[in-house]
């Protein structure tokens, strides 16, 4: 198996964490409201000194035997270090043409940028696509588009215009196959999508269950392992920081209580959430 792909079992289902690449972020983008003295206790000195973090981009593919379900399509040409998802799927023996269903956790560029290849054709030509209606409608409103165009949504400057560009480039080609969900739903036997709001207004998590095992895939509810122990720490790109913190705590409660495996787009590997005193950790 390629080093860019991690294969593991959830009961009878075979799951894959597949790399799309990585990107480098300023420390303040990942920890927008974390006190500097507390960051010093959880980050390596080199990262603190550099003032930046290398963040992995990793998708999830679940093969249930009846369906192949991909969660997010990666960043595409977002950066020189992204866009490797399709090649890594093929290297793992997972032809994009065999993907039945693509779930968008949300519509940020690093989650929708792999829907169309460099040739302009659909990267997953036989797949249906799913997203929460609240997510799609939020990003497509004139008000949100105007804030992105002026850099006022996150205060992130030119990257907001890129967000707007990605929405218009990568969603319209698959819109005829895009189904908008109103709420949580079982999208295939053993696979549920769950609203996990805050990072964006229609952010989704995915619960995969087979036998007595479960995997909770939380998209961007967590963007750094430090947030497991500090769920009150938000990144720059939350649309509702209070709601995002509430969602992180709810997901941690659920994962710990049910002994779920936990995975996220920007967290390495797969781990189990455990209670540590009044908080949580990973094992």
180-209 tens-digit pLDDT: 999 999 999 999 999 999 999 999 999 999
Q: Would you tell me how many other CB atoms lie within 10 Å of the CB of residue 187?
A: 18
Which of the four pLDDT bands, split at 50, 70 and 90, describes residue 1? very low
Q: Tell whether the model's pLDDT for residue 279 goes beyond 50.
A: yes
220-248 tens-digit pLDDT: 999 999 999 999 999 999 999 999 999 99
Contact 221, 195 (CB under 8 A): no
103-162 tens-digit pLDDT: 999 999 999 999 999 888 899 999 999 999 999 999 999 999 999 999 999 999 999 999
Domain spans in the chain, listed from the N-terminal domain onward:
5-282
pLDDT score at 119: 85
For the domain bounded by 5-282, which CATH number is listed?
3.60.15.10
pTM, two decimal places? 0.96
Contact 131, 188 (CB under 8 A): no
Q: Tell whether the model's pLDDT for residue 2 goes beyond 80.
A: no
Contact 108, 237 (CB under 8 A): yes
Q: Tell whether the model's pLDDT for residue 217 goes beyond 50.
A: yes
């Amino acid at each position: 198996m390629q080093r860019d792909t991690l294969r593991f079992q959830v009961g009878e289902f075979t799951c894959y964490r597949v790399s799309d690449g990585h990107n480098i972020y300023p420390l303040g983008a990942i920890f927008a409201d974390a006190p500097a003295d507390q960051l010093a206790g959880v980050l390596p000195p080199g990262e603190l000194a550099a003032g930046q973090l290398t963040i992995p981009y990793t998708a999830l593919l679940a093969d249930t035997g009846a369906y192949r379900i991909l969660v997010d399509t990666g960043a595409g040409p977002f950066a020189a270090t992204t866009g490797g998802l399709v090649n890594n799927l093929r290297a793992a023996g997972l032809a994009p043409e065999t993907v039945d269903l693509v779930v968008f956790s949300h519509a940020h560029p690093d989650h929708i940028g792999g829907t169309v290849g460099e040739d302009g054709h659909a990267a997953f030509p036989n797949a249906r696509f799913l997203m929460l209606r609240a997510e799609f409608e939020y990003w497509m409103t004139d008000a949100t588009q105007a804030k992105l165009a002026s850099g006022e949504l996150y205060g992130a400057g030119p990257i907001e215009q890129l967000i707007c560009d990605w929405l218009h480039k990568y969603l319209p080609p698959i819109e005829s196959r895009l189904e908008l969900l109103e709420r949580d739903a079982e999208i295939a036997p053993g696979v549920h999508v769950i609203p996990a709001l805050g990072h964006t207004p229609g952010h989704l998590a995915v619960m995969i269950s087979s036998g007595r095992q479960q995997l909770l895939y939380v998209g961007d509810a967590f963007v750094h392992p430090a947030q497991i122990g500090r769920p009150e720490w938000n990144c720059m790109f939350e649309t509702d920081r209070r709601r995002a913190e509430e969602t992180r705590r709810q997901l941690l409660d659920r994962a710990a209580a049910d002994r779920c495996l936990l995975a996220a787009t920007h967290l390495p590997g797969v781990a189990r959430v455990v209670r540590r005193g009044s908080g949580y950790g990973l094992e």
